[in-house]
Amino acid sequence: MAIPDTSAPRWLDPCLALAAATLIGLLFFRLGSHPLMETSDARYAEISWEMVHTGDWLTPRMNFAIHLDKPPLANWLGAVGLTLLGHSEGAVRAPLAAAALLCLWLVYATGTGLFGGRAGLVACLILGTSPLFLFMARLFTTDLYLCLFVVGAYASFLRAYAQAQPPLVWRLGFALCLALGFLTKGPVVWLHTLAPILLFHFVWGQRGRLAPFFAPLPIACFVAVAAPWFVAVGLAHPQVWDFYLHHELVARVSGDALQRRQPVYYFLPILLGGLAPWSLWLPWLARAGAREITGVLLPIPGVQRLLACWLIVPFVVLSLIPSKLPPYLLPLLPAAALWGGACMVPWLASRPRPPARVVPILLLVVTAAVAAAGVVVYRHHLDDWTVAPMGPVVVGFWSSVATLVLVAVAIRRGGRATTLVAVLALALAFDLTGIYQLPNTKPNYRYHRLARDLAGRLTPDDQLLTYNRYLRGLPFYLERPVTLARYPNWDHPLEQDPTLGGRHLESAAEIAALMRRAGRTFVIVEERAIPDLLRDAGVRLYEWDRQAQYRLLCTVPPPAPKEPA
């Protein structure tokens, strides 16, 4: 049976339910309010739009060029959102938010099945309020979808592994989630699932319970779901196998792919920040509450060790691989959340001890430092930030500071339920602040207003050129391909036509020929690159508009205003 929690106050569960409802609202709040974020969010949105526009859902394309960096499941889901909800940022992100909601429900159901309802709800709240999870649920990449299928695989595995004869339905569910994860991001799904599960089984597991997962029917289910797309694309583009083997696997493991080489300790601050504020509490909470977890609802001895393998094994492997990005850690967070929920229940039920005086004092010192740093950053970057209005950001920030003080007071008074609710309030306040602040995290890619305005001006005869920069979301906003000039990083191993059908200009002669054509040619260029552009173009260019460091230039003067400025 689960640990009894009768000593917790009656008001705790309604507060947890209210926090869960608030979290669900945050998943969909202002989902389409900020523009596509370069580069990944814009790239996947652009690929999804081209699937809808061309009707070809088999071969992913970006700027109408073959782009097979990842399997297509995430792009298919984005295309479904665009088909059902129309052409907008919110439409392409809506399936992502729905996947995040389903992931939280799976964590709740798994935590409830293992440790009881309150533990499941706390685990769901820990995961949902973690900044890395919430922000990746608002940025269109493959990582949130991979996290969903990893959680689904573990949920199915635990249900089946708890029985001496694992039911076929759960074994098929396990294979299906592995196949969907493979269609999302390739073999990395095995690192997050099979590697920890095999380690747990052969060291602490029960004999005979793992073999049924690799019976003919589950394997056939995996192959039937995961293989068809790879076979179809491999037949159409035979070089895809060499690309995935060397560029996507060997080069990433060696650290030479995409210039993402990072030190071995890179993921440690990412884990601490991505799981904040819980990362500051969970280690102490595990020490205080883990020893009192004496049983679980599902009869899996040592299930806590499986959660530890889920968290530690991929973390160690990903840390040793040189190529790193912060979202790689996202599938690990549900393991930490489930562990936190399991430890929280006995901690709430046990008799509180007077806390050390130094703990709330240190927390108040940290609060003062956060407040001071926030004021300094706000005053320094006020002119650079683009969020309007800034009022919600300011309110959210000072709410976070206030809840930090509330946490310190709750710890000092020894109210454990009050402390939990205060930390939840802190996490939600930070998350709300981050939602408004998210558009300010990419100051070098503020071209979206130019793109929206230009979309209404372009005619079919106009040409659009980007100089020395590839803005991946630009075709999404303009709903047409874009010509690239002097872009230095377009060496794509799978590109069938290096010129992109004449839309990749590498020489000054090609650029000058496009500029001298009849009709209008628009150019989006960074201000620092204008002298090089003028030298290559060989014609006079007129400024039509500007945003941040970007300028919209044209070969013809802008129309005169209807009224004097």
pLDDT at 384 over 70: no
The reported pLDDT for the residue numbered 6 is 46
Interaxial angle between packed helices 117-129 and 12-28, expressed in degrees from 0 to 180 and rounded to the nearest 10? 40
Cα distance between residue 140 and residue 490, in whole Å: 22
Q: Taking a C-beta distance cutoff of 8 angstroms, is the pair 159, 298 a contact?
A: yes
Residues 345 and 365 in one domain: no
The more confidently predicted of residues 392 and 224 is 224
Residues 189 and 237 in one domain: yes
Question: 143 in a domain, yes or no?
Answer: yes
The more confidently predicted of residues 62 and 1 is 62
Residues 533 and 517 in one domain: yes
Question: 48 in a domain, yes or no?
Answer: no
Cα distance between residue 116 and residue 295, in whole Å: 10
pLDDT at 549 over 90: no
DSSP 261: B
Token pair belonging to 424: 């939840």
* Strand-pair partners of 483: 465
In 10 A of CB 492, how many CB atoms? 17
The reported pLDDT for the residue numbered 562 is 54
Calculate mean pLDDT across residues 16-37: 90
The CA–CA distances, whole Å, from 12 to 6, 293, 426 equal 11, 20, 16
Residues 260 and 396 in one domain: no
Cα distance between residue 440 and residue 446, in whole Å: 9
Q: How distant is the alpha carbon of residue 60 from its chain centre?
A: 20
Question: 132 in a domain, yes or no?
Answer: yes
The reported pLDDT for the residue numbered 368 is 67
Residues 510 and 408 in one domain: no
Token pair belonging to 264: 């071995």
pLDDT at 151 over 90: yes
Residues 233 and 111 in one domain: yes
Calculate mean pLDDT across residues 334-343: 92
pLDDT at 553 over 90: yes
Cα distance between residue 95 and residue 84, in whole Å: 10
The reported pLDDT for the residue numbered 560 is 72
Residues 344 and 363 in one domain: no
Domain ranges, residue 487? 448-554
Question: 4 in a domain, yes or no?
Answer: no
Which of 304, 331, 349 is the endpoint of a domain? 349
Predicted confidence (pLDDT) per residue in 521-542, tens digit: 999 999 999 999 999 988 899 9
Which of 325, 349, 373 is the endpoint of a domain? 349
Calculate mean pLDDT across residues 242-265: 70
* Strand-pair partners of 484: 466, 504
Please report, rounded to a whole number, the percentage of residues in the chain having pLDDT higher than 70: 79
What is the tally of structural domains in the chain? 3
The reported pLDDT for the residue numbered 489 is 65
Question: 220 in a domain, yes or no?
Answer: yes
Predicted confidence (pLDDT) per residue in 254-277, tens digit: 655 566 778 899 999 999 889 988
Predicted confidence (pLDDT) per residue in 58-110, tens digit: 989 888 888 888 899 999 999 999 999 999 999 999 999 999 999 999 999 99
Q: How confident is the model at residue 366 (pLDDT cuts 50, 70, 90)?
A: low
Which of 441, 458, 492 is the endpoint of a domain? 441
Cα distance between residue 62 and residue 50, in whole Å: 7
Predicted confidence (pLDDT) per residue in 161-198, tens digit: 988 888 999 999 999 999 999 999 989 999 999 999 99
Please report, rounded to a whole number, the percentage of residues in the chain having pLDDT higher than 90: 46
Q: How distant is the alpha carbon of residue 383 from its chain centre?
A: 28
Q: How confident is the model at residue 238 (pLDDT cuts 50, 70, 90)?
A: confident
Residues 407 and 506 in one domain: no
Cα distance between residue 557 and residue 228, in whole Å: 53
| Average pLDDT taken over every residue of the chain | 84
| Residue among 555, 525, 551 nearest 538 (CA) | 555
Residues 410 and 532 in one domain: no
Residues 158 and 282 in one domain: yes
Residues 344 and 366 in one domain: no
Q: How confident is the model at residue 565 (pLDDT cuts 50, 70, 90)?
A: very low
Question: 563 in a domain, yes or no?
Answer: no
Say what the pTM is. Answer: 0.90
Lowest-confidence region among 12-21, 76-85, 326-335: 12-21
Phi, psi for 558 (deg, rounded to 5): -70, 155
Question: 472 in a domain, yes or no?
Answer: yes
The reported pLDDT for the residue numbered 208 is 83
Question: 56 in a domain, yes or no?
Answer: no
Q: For Cα atoms 41, 44, 50, give the angle at the middle one, nearest 5 degrees.
A: 135
The more confidently predicted of residues 352 and 170 is 170
Residues 431 and 454 in one domain: no
